[in-house]
Structure 1
Amino acid sequence: MPGASWNLDQTDDAVTIRTPAVRIVLRRAGDRWSHEIGLGDGPPLLASIEHGPDAGDPSQVLSPVYQEVQHHAFDDDDRRVRLLLTGLLHRHHFSAVLTVSTDDDGGAAIEFDVADRCRDVVSSLAATYEVRLGPGDLQEADETAVRWDGGPLGDGRLTFTAIEASRLAIAGKGPRAVQAQALASLAPGSFTHRLRYRWAWASRSCRTR
Structure 2
Amino acid sequence: MRFSSVAAASLLSLASAAPAAVDKRWQTPAPANTLTPSTLATYYGKDGSIVAPVTIGHASQYQGASGATTTLVTFNLNNAAYTPPAGAQCTLKFFLDLTDGAAHIGKPGDQIDVFSSLQPAPAAGSPGWGGPGNQRNIGLGRLQPVIGGLATTVQNNGIESFPCPKIGDSNVKGGLVGFEVVPVNTASVDWSNIASGLYLQW
Give the TM-score of the pair, scaled to structure 1.
0.35
Higher relative contact order (CA 8 A, sep 6+): 2
Structure (1 or 2) with the greater strand fraction: 1
Give TM-score, length-normalised by structure 2: 0.35
Structure label with greater radius of gyration: 2
